[in-house]
Structure 1
Amino acid sequence: MTDFIGSVWWMIVSLGLLVTFHEFGHYWVGRLCGVKVLRFSVGFGRPLWSRRDRHGTEFAIAAIPLGGYVKFLDEREVEVHPHERGQAFNHKTVWQRIAIVAAGPIANLLLCILLLWAMFVIGKQDYSATVGRATGMAATAGLGSGDRLLSVDGRDVITLGEASMALTAAAMDRRDVTLEVLDPADQLRSHTLPLSQLPAGFDERRVPILAGVYWRAWLQPPLVDNIVKGSAAEGHLQTGDLIVAIDGQRIDSVEQAISEVGSLGRRGGPAMIEVLRGGERLALEITPRQGKDGKGQPTWQIGAGFAQSYSPAYDTLLKFGPLQSVTVAVRETGRMAADSLAMMGRIVTGKASLQNVSGPVTIARVANISAKRGVDWFIQFLALLSLSLCIINLLPIPILDGGHLLYYLIELVKGSPLSERAVAAGQYIGLALLAGLMGLAFYNDILGLVPR
């Protein structure tokens, strides 16, 4: 229940802030162009509070806090007195109308850069792209525990997220990638990861794992949290022991320890379990016993319990001075925009699944998770969402800003505005497209809530 309330709250905060900034872009440029603004509303529906300024603009906070709008004086919507026609939106030049409409997405773009600048000045804590364990394809390619990725196909990566995104994009494009890594001995090495060999229909959300790459931040250290009374581990293991090897096999994670214990049980007989205890490495002989897991299914156990929750420590800090952060923020905005456009292109061409289209439920969940992680993560989330609003609004779909810009470009070419009939037809098409897109987004959101 707490997560639900938090998700709703942070979604309202996020969309309220970003959409208000978007509409302020329209408002500000509209005023510069001499257009009379009738209303600037934060939210939709019945106004809960409002006031008018000396220009006659009503500023309002409405009951439904999911967005907002700016209403200009326009002869197509309201009756305009003859002495105010010069202030009507539809009486402005086509270039002025283009500037007013484009100002909203541009405001979101500038806000993205500003937010990223603030994030880099404050400092963004993150996880490095360090391999914790390599199996399958990754192990065959030569990757190993402790290898830190420096670049993917010549593109520099610093964080786990950047590396995962680069690997996922390459997998969607069905191409192999060259990885530059720094191994635990500080030696630079190069490996080729054959992502083109992933099976058709692979889960795009699990590309690193399917390739055999388990990031170090994902792996919970096998630190013993409790000992079950009367179990095989009692009298041998102690709380605080770190399991480092089982039967000569190196162990890096809880998942690996559980798997290895299962293998030992099926094989039968005792095994040497090596642990670190107080700086000393000990080898202890323990025989797994058959028991039941939390679902009542038979399983092999030694009676050592691990912590139920695990939060890995950050090992990377992205922090720059105020001036350098400007350059870094602009560059990061360009990278994010290129990745977003490339993903949209893959969805359109069928290289990426339609499951990548998400809606308000996903936005709410990610907003809540980001807010819990800290102000730096939440700022990054806001920046990405602001950039997404910019890109989506520039799509040439009627109703969106991009659709209006398309109308005005056609007007520039033909020398006169489109007919009302053509505009109305475009609006209906735009509504249908948006309805379909929103339906798909909601479907994916609901599908994401169903346990797999």
Structure 2
Amino acid sequence: MNLLIEVAAFAVAIGVLVVVHEYGHYSVARLCGVKVLRFSIGFGRPLATWVGRKSGTEWTISALPLGGYVKMLDERDPGPGILPPDLPYAFNRQHVAKRIAIVLAGPLANFLLAVALFSIVFATGVVEPVARLATPPVGSVAARAGFDGGETIVSIGDMQGADVEAVRSWSDLRWKLLDAAFDHRRVVLRAHDGRGTYDFQVDLRDVAERDLDDDFLGKLGFDQGGTLSVAAVEPGSAAERAGLEPGDTLRTVGGAPIDGAQAFIAYVKAHAGRPIVLGIDRGAPAQRLLLTVVPDSREDAQTGAAAGRIGAALGTQVQTVNVRYGLGQSVARSVRRTWDIAVYSLRMFGRMLTGQASLKNLSGPVTIADYAGKSAQLGWAPFLSFLSLVSISLGVLNLLPIPVLDGGHLLYYLVEAATGKAVSERWQLVLQRAGLVCIVVLSAIALFNDLARLIHF
């Protein structure tokens, strides 16, 4: 059943994103007076074809659904040639400004789709975890700022007390701190707990570029505070030997309260082969039990040192809030969120090229299908948010200055606009071959990462 949901969600996601991207090219090409010969969803053998009565465009659904294309009338294409009456409608005969507009229209359509989808999510409301912190690890950025755990962050501002923005959820906190970390700024987080409201100065000036990844907040010591429970227990694991069961609520470890997964995992890793005492609640009404667990010793993939592992999947129950904005605010926030994600994607790609970030961050169709299915099962709002993220990624990817992508063609036309001379066909052919090599290499890396995640090697 999950596989069917993944396949269906992936098909919907790819279909929507490809249609929107290619329709951007198509609509602007028509506005610029270019004749469009074919609009294809997918590649390879056509499965269904029909011809528009007014435009004469051939609309096609093809066998390989991973992409699509718009074929325009162009004198450079091989074939019998173009009849003289059709020459004014050829793409290559258009002014360079029109060609730039046509090329930009596809990625721009993806960004506009993301803005529209985010606006729907923000305007209708989405349930998200509140920005409540667990106890931070000693020496972390969060600990040095003075957080003890249990605080709920409500706003973020600069050191002068200006540019204060409300923080309404955990994802809101993540994006605002990520933006500040990219700029290596110091910020002030306002938070409250049961005793009062306080300001905390968070110094992000020394955050390394390589740490700005999916686990960004965790590396700073910011972990979601909530109730930790056991979701599943691996057969033959240390957790099973100790008597842990799915549904157990973790209350204490080594006599100290547990309020976040990150601190608990760090504690377990630091006690490889050494017994630890867990305080748990089991059943209803809850019965408090003390269990002794001896974590198995495994080699840490990053440090190579021995690390403890008990073999239990964890779940966190967190306080949630329904985040909803007015229409104007929703559109404004959507534009800002789309811009932030696009800039983050570009910076991440740049760090991968310079070796500051791992190529493991590249994902392919298998990972996209997996996340599409998971987000669809969570509800329409997570699925629309997922579509927005992938749409932005597709727009950014196509703007990269790699020949065969929109960004490569854009580079040619910008050179032509600046020099008054088109890039020679010989150079275009050479660069196109280099671009194909780049795409093949990136696709191979992304597919390898997909398989590595799938079979855990």
In structure 1, what residue type is equivalent to 2:110?
Answer: N
Q: Deviations over 1:376-399 (max 9, x none)?
A: 111111112111211211112111
Query: 387-396 vs 319-328, which deviates more?
Result: 319-328
Unaligned runs of 5+ in 1: 224-232
Query: For residue 19 of structure 1, what is the aligned residue in structure 2?
Result: 18
Q: Shift of residue 247 of structure 1?
A: 7.8
Correspondence 1:252 to 2:265:
no
- Give 2:256's aligned amino acid: Q
Say if 2:229 and 2:247, in contact at 8 Å, map to a contact too. no
Q: Which has the larger radius of gyration?
A: 1
2:153 to 139, 149, 155: 149
Work out the CA distance in 2 between the residues paired with 1:253 and 1:85. Answer: 67
CA RMSD of aligned residues (A): 4.3
> 2:401 — aligned with what?
396
Superposition deviation, residue 342 in structure 1: 2.8
Q: CA deviation at 1:311?
A: 6.5
1:190 is the counterpart of 2:200: yes
Does the 8 Å CA contact 2:275/2:293 hold for their aligned counterparts? Answer: no
Structure 2 equivalent of residue 213 of structure 1: 222
Structure 2 Cα separation of the partners of residues 355 and 169 of structure 1: 22
Whole-Å separation in 2 of the counterparts to 1:201 and 1:334: 21
Letter in structure 2 aligned against 1:68: G
Q: Distance in 1 between matches of 2:137 and 2:453?
A: 28
Match of 1:377 in 2: 382
Alpha-carbon displacement from aligned partner over 1:347-404 (angstroms, at most 9, x marks no partner): 3343322222222222222211211111111111111211121121111211111111
Counterpart amino acid of 1:134? P
Offset at residue 99 of structure 1 (A): 1.5
Which region of structure 1 is more displaced relative to structure 2, 324-333 or 162-171? 162-171
Q: Any residues of structure 2 matched to 1:122-271 within 5 Å, and which?
A: 122-136=124-138, 137=140, 138-150=142-154, 154=158, 156=165, 157-164=167-174, 178=187, 180-185=189-194, 186-192=196-202, 196=206, 204-216=213-225, 219-221=227-229, 244=251, 249-252=256-259, 256=264
Moved more, 385-394 or 206-215: 206-215
Evaluate the alpha carbon distance shift between residue 362 and residue 84 of structure 1 in structure 2; reply closer, same or farther with a 3 A threshold: same
TM superposition shift of 1:197: 8.2
Relative distance call for 1:416 and 1:291 in structure 2 (3 A) is closer
Secondary structure of the structure 2 residue equivalent to 1:214: coil
2:134 is paired with a residue whose SS is strand
SS at match of 1:215: coil
Structure 1 Cα separation of the partners of residues 290 and 28 of structure 2 = 75
> TM-score, normalization: structure 2?
0.77
Contact preservation (8 Å) 2:372, 2:383? yes
Distance 1:354 1:90 in 2: 37
* Residue 189 of structure 1, CA deviation: 2.1
Counterpart of 2:359 (choices 342, 354, 358) is: 354
Q: What CA distance in whole angstroms lies between the structure 2 residues aligned with 1:4 and 1:436? A: 28
Match of 1:227 in 2: none
Which residue in the other structure is 1:51 paired with?
Answer: 50
Structure-2 change in CA distance of 1:389 and 1:277 (3 Å): closer
Task: Kindly state the Cα deviation for residue 37 of structure 1 after the two structures are TM-superposed.
Answer: 1.2
Aligned 8 A contact 2:274 2:294 in 1: no
Match of 1:334 in 2: 339
Q: Distance in 1 between matches of 2:152 and 2:198?
A: 10
Q: Which moved more, 1:239-248 or 1:433-442?
A: 239-248
Q: 1:248 to 1:57 in 2, by over 3 A?
A: closer
- Secondary structure class of the residue paired with 1:134: coil
Matched, 1:89 2:91: yes
Counterpart of 2:446 in structure 1 is 441
Contact in 1 for aligned 2:351/2:357 (Cα 8 Å) = yes
For 1:351 and 1:319, locate their aligned partners in 2 and report how far apart those are by CA, in whole Å: 37
Q: Are 1:430 and 2:418 an aligned pair? A: no
CA distance in structure 2 between the partners assigned to 1:354 and 1:98 by the alignment: 31
Distance 1:177 1:369, change over 3 A: farther
Q: Which residue of 1 aligns with 2:234?
A: none
Aligned to 1:118: 120
| SS of residue matched to 1:41 | strand
Aligned residues: 425
Shift of 1:128: 2.3
Q: Structure 1 residue 249: deviation in Å?
A: 3.0
Work out whether residues 195 and 211 of structure 1, in 8 Å CA contact, stay in contact via their aligned partners in 2: no
**Per the alignment, do residues 323 and 256 of structure 1 end up closer, same or farther by CA in structure 2, a change over 3 Å counting?**
closer
User: 1:355 is paired with a residue of what secondary structure?
Assistant: helix
Report how far residue 279 of structure 1 moved: 10
Number of the residue aligned with 2:235:
none
Residues 198-228 of structure 1, C-alpha deviation per residue, up to 9 Å, x if partnerless? 8x987954444444433125x52589xxxxx
- CA distance in 1 between counterparts of 2:108 and 2:207 reads 41
Structure 2's unaligned 5+ residue stretches are 159-163, 232-241, 299-307
Hey, what's the Cα distance between the residues in 2 that align with 1:288 and 1:421? 73
Partner AA of 1:183 in structure 2: H
1:107-151 deviation per Cα after TM superposition (whole angstroms, max 9, x unaligned):
112111111111112212222221123222244542122212346
Q: What is the deviation of 1:335?
A: 2.2
Q: How far is 1:187 from its partner?
A: 0.8
State the SS of the aligned residue for 1:213.
coil
Q: Match of 2:303?
A: none
**TM-score by structure 1 length?**
0.78
